Amino acid sequence: MPQISIEKDAAVAIVRFTNPPDGYMDMDTVAELTTMLDTVEGDDDVRAVILTGGLPDVFIRHFTIVALEARGRTFREAGATFDLSHPVPEPSLHTDYRRIEDSRKPYIAAINGTAMGGGFEMALRCDFRIVQDGPYHLGLPEINLGILPGAGGTQRLSRIIGQAKTLELTLLGKTLSPREAAAHGLVTECCDGPVLDRALEIAHELTTKSPHALAYIKRLVRQSELVAPTDGLAAERTLFADLVRRDEAIELMTEMNEGKRGIRDR
């Protein structure tokens, strides 16, 4: 049966990942992830996307180790060797994660349970990470199996919480509780109640914002550590000028100047 389902709540797409009994990610999940992204990215009525787990207490546990062991044995039996002078091409899973990060639409990870390895790496690509409090494990413990986070984890985690904490967690193979993740700034917030409810509140508020401004802000922030400061500032000036001349911005600014709204009104 399908592992990924899509439900629409007004302009919000709710995407659920379900792979019973344990909620692992596998190659079927990857294929469905690509199809899901084609659907929500191609739907102009979808203004925000929520990713969450369809099983109780599990977001995505991690990529199945059965498949990873089989891949490793195939490499070894073929006598394959790997060198940084010949980088491995980007597989479809990595392409899909990049699509989430680069999308003009905001993505929210509503983490309803354990999220490690590839599942946690997908959450790292989202713009908001809301986690439900509970006895859950969050992180990248791959070193405990003699491997490393292979879907962007080392790069994205360090940009969020810094190198020192990233090295501690990934070199020691430690995971964090939801409260610990919030304390380290790894998630946007930790909530006591059902995480999907809180994610929907945020998603619906996002759908009231200018889609052009959302896309531009997301692009500028995402690229802020990848480009030279002068290039980033030049892009910011240019996109600001593009927004300020649009009808939506002019109407809202006129309302403020006429005393009908304030800059903090949401």
Amino acid letter for position 67: A
142 flagged as catalytic: yes
Q: Where are the alpha helices (DSSP H) in the chain?
A: 27-42, 65-77, 92-102, 117-124, 153-161, 163-172, 178-183, 195-206, 211-223, 229-244, 247-257
Give the SS3 label for residue 9.
strand
d(CA 91, CA 69): 17
Residues 122/176/56/150 CA torsion (nearest 10 deg): 30
Catalytic residue (choose from 41, 77, 101, 142): 142
**Contact 33/60 with Cβ under 8 angstroms?**
no
Taking only the tens place, the pLDDT of each residue in 43-93 is 999 999 999 999 999 999 999 999 999 999 999 999 999 999 999 999 999
Q: What pLDDT score does 265 carry?
A: 86
CB atoms within 10 A of CB 117: 26
Catalytic residue (choose from 77, 90, 101, 121): 121
Q: What pLDDT score does 255 carry?
A: 94
Taking only the tens place, the pLDDT of each residue in 98-157 is 999 999 999 999 999 999 999 999 999 999 999 999 999 999 999 999 999 999 999 999
Taking only the tens place, the pLDDT of each residue in 165-183 is 999 999 999 999 999 999 9
d(CA 263, CA 266): 8
121 flagged as catalytic: yes
Residue 1 clears pLDDT 90, i.e. is over it: no
- Please give the C-alpha separations between residue 147 and each of 140, 176, 248, in angstroms, as whole numbers: 10, 19, 50
